[in-house]
């Protein structure tokens, strides 16, 4: 993939974005993700999150659900480290992650192995409500998918920002340009207040537990193309099936 690995940081190739290694096959099957997530409970490392997203896209360009959820779980852990002011956001993300995880643990788990198989299965079986809010996998994942767009822009803003830039400004600008369009006034207001509690860019990058701010920036540069790819494939799939406006 263009861009990935170009900076000479080889953690991505080692960890998941390289060839179809034995470990990647395990990742594809999902077992390792569930194991890791149970083990890794309290700590946060950006590396773990980014590795999860780099392992999402299969050779057939399908988006694997388990690493997708593992990536989000890691982000939620990070959000929890930032303080209770963010709990209303992490609670919502957890609810959505759990809805999809429950499908992955149900009798129909194989149908939810990839986003493509989930869409096909739910549409073919009339499980997607086009008129009103439901707990379908398609509708739930769409909320995370929209948030992934924000994440992509936010991480890019952090990566390219100046040393002394304000994380709160990067966060609110990217939020206003993406996710805010789907949120009512009250949520936008609460989010705006929470953003004010964010530390400066360099402190924020150091909180990611991957070394210095420069090392975190290099890692973001390596991983972002993979996050963009996950977003793009999902966006195209949802557009093709006219699912982008699910209530």
Ligand X SMILES: CCCCCCCCCCCCC/C=C/[C@@H](O)[C@H](COP(=O)(O)O)NC(=O)CCCCCCCCCCCCCCC
Interface residue with ligand X, options 141, 171, 223, 243 (CB under 6 A)? 171
The smaller minimum CB distance to ligand X, of residues 28 and 73, is found at 73
Q: Residue 18 CB: number of other CB atoms within 10 A?
A: 15
Instruction: Say whether residue 89 binds ligand X (CB under 6 A).
Output: yes
Q: How far is the CB of 37 from ligand X (least distance, A)?
A: 16
The contacts of residue 46 (CB under 8 Å, 6+ apart) are: 78, 208, 209, 210, 216, 219, 220
**DSSP-assigned beta bridge partners for residue 63:** 57
Under 8 Å between Cβ of 140 and 96: yes
Here the tokens at position 161 are 């920002």
Q: How many CA atoms lie within 13 A of 231 on its CB side?
A: 17
Under 8 Å between Cβ of 45 and 207: no
Instruction: Say whether residue 150 binds ligand X (CB under 6 A).
Output: yes
Q: Which one of 19-27, 75-83, 107-115, 230-238 is the stretch in contact with ligand X (CB under 6 A)?
A: 75-83
Instruction: Say whether residue 88 binds ligand X (CB under 6 A).
Output: yes
Instruction: Say whether residue 128 binds ligand X (CB under 6 A).
Output: no
Here the tokens at position 235 are 């966006």
Cα distances from 71 to residues 88, 153, 181, in angstroms, run 19, 16, 23
The smaller minimum CB distance to ligand X, of residues 89 and 100, is found at 89
The smaller minimum CB distance to ligand X, of residues 58 and 225, is found at 225
Cα separation, 94 vs 108, in Å, equals: 21
Interface residue with ligand X, options 27, 52, 93, 237 (CB under 6 A)? 93
Q: Which one of 25-33, 52-60, 124-132, 175-183 is the stretch in contact with ligand X (CB under 6 A)?
A: 175-183
Instruction: Say whether residue 143 binds ligand X (CB under 6 A).
Output: yes
Instruction: Say whether residue 187 binds ligand X (CB under 6 A).
Output: yes
Under 8 Å between Cβ of 117 and 110: yes
Instruction: Say whether residue 79 binds ligand X (CB under 6 A).
Output: yes
The smaller minimum CB distance to ligand X, of residues 24 and 146, is found at 146
Helices then strands (H, E): number in the chain?
Answer: 12, 0
Q: Residue 107 CB: number of other CB atoms within 10 A?
A: 7
Instruction: Say whether residue 179 binds ligand X (CB under 6 A).
Output: yes
Instruction: Say whether residue 100 binds ligand X (CB under 6 A).
Output: no
Tell me which residues in 31-50 interact with ligand X (CB under 6 A). Answer: 46
Q: What residues make contact with ligand X under the rule CB under 6 A? A: 46, 75, 78-79, 88-89, 92-93, 143, 146-147, 150, 171, 175, 179, 182-183, 187, 191, 198, 208
């Amino acid at each position: 993939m263009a861009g990935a690995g170009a900076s000479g940081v080889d953690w991505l190739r080692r960890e998941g974005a390289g060839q179809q290694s034995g470990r990647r096959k395990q990742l594809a099957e999902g077992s390792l993700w569930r194991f890791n997530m149970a083990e890794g409970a309290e700590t946060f490392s950006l590396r773990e999150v980014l590795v999860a997203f780099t392992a999402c896209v299969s050779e057939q360009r399908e988006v694997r659900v388990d690493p997708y959820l593992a990536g989000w779980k890691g982000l939620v852990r990070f959000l929890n480290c930032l303080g209770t002011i963010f709990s209303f956001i992490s609670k919502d993300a957890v609810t959505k992650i759990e809805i999809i995880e429950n499908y992955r643990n149900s009798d129909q788990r194989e149908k939810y192995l990839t986003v493509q198989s989930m869409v096909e299965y739910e549409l073919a079986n009339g499980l997607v409500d086009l008129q009103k809010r439901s707990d379908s996998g398609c509708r739930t994942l769409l909320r995370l998918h929209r948030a992934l767009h924000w994440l992509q822009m936010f991480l890019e803003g952090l990566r390219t920002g100046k040393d002394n830039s304000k994380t709160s400004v990067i966060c609110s600008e990217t939020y206003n340009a993406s996710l805010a369009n789907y949120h009512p006034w009250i949520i936008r207001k609460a989010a705006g207040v929470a953003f004010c509690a964010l530390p400066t860019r360099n402190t924020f990058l150091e909180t990611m537990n991957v070394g210095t701010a420069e090392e975190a920036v290099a890692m973001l540069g390596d991983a972002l193309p993979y996050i963009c790819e996950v977003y793009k494939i999902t966006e195209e799939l949802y557009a093709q099936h006219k699912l982008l406006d699910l209530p």
